[in-house]
Structure 1
């Protein structure tokens, strides 16, 4: 993932054509994201974050700083970060890229000075540093009954890692769509004592079923790549009925998969999942099930310290 305009603009002459050839021969493997400046290399077993541009001079010709990580949880977090950006961005339009190169000044520059651009579907992100103080037991909500129910459900899960993985998925939904806990379309529920259910308006979009053979449920768009195979592979399946404004033959699907919650979460699956959520967010403005909304579940997704406290209570008796 790279800012292709900044990339090609900082080189001149034959180097630009070399970049163009590289992009053309690897179009499906390169995504354009404006203003991305992160330098990260990630594999299944290791990750490197640093200040160096990933060029020969950047890596071998300058004094730079970098850190290598081999801890599984950090690598997984970085992989999730990459996958989230990748799924929100797109491959480079080669015709636009050619027009942009033709419009550039002959001299390399960090400022293109051209009205030509290369399309990027990735959203712009405004970030800020947030200091989060550590929680104590006194900071946890006073709703003891809801907390006890949540802990009981989590104790059915095969491991803390399984539960953590589910709440990472819920965080993905909340942060992607910037949903607040009091959003009238969102319901995070523990109304049933053996599952955690997340719905948008009239439909479930995510569910955790930790009892017996633990599984995770998702809604996916009918146009999702290989949707027939995904349905066939599912341990449980349900076809949603058409709601207002929907085509009877193109409704989303509900699929449940056993084992680790994130095991299905490749780029194609996530696109289908997020597209189904997007359609449902736009289809209506409120859920008829708001009375079942449990803020504790929402907080488990967005508050790392709070999640740690509850998971410690569920899996280690609060130790």
Structure 2
């Protein structure tokens, strides 16, 4: 390797011997400039993190190194440049920048659901399994629980207080379920389900005493994240009493409540989506995104 090599000339597939010098030209480390991997897996073999870089510059340590990219060095307020030498090695000189770039302090995450009280209701449980007729390995009770357990920390990270009607596989009759949920004093209940009965896609059910704003937002997010067909949002009343909601998870809840049906587990296309390893995460992310949009609009 000749001395005509430039620092900017370093390519990912090259390995170069290099000398690291301080501003006075004194050798303070010797090592290899190395990048490994291809495509998305491309990465420097070792980074000069801030503490190590400071120690090297101040000559507190002298050791072999794998140099970091110029951008990383600049992030810590240093300049790096190639210095020509006749020994065939690439010499890299680093010094403090004239206008030091201060390392940015991490910004505090905005909690978009701060103060909100939300109850998640994983549908079914225990002997009430709701097994797919197309694949007995799929049980709605398991899927809804996985979604709720994934969603809970997502909402808590956004500042919400989150309650669960169940956090394990257990029998929870309607009266016991609604009594437990009402005792939490939440302002919103999301009852999580997958559908059956002939159809495909997602739908969301809301109360006759609520508007459809939340239901529409959740439906959009479910279809976007899961990649399922958009069916509808709707309400339903008791056949003999049009002033009462049909579903007990809406009718017998003391606050706003919606039922989400993410996809049909008796439809082959939808079931294939639900059977993917990350389906419960996408379902949870869809609900998280929808709730954030609803409470911030």
Task: Give TM-score scaled by structure 2 length.
Answer: 0.31
Structure (1/2) with the larger helix percentage? 1
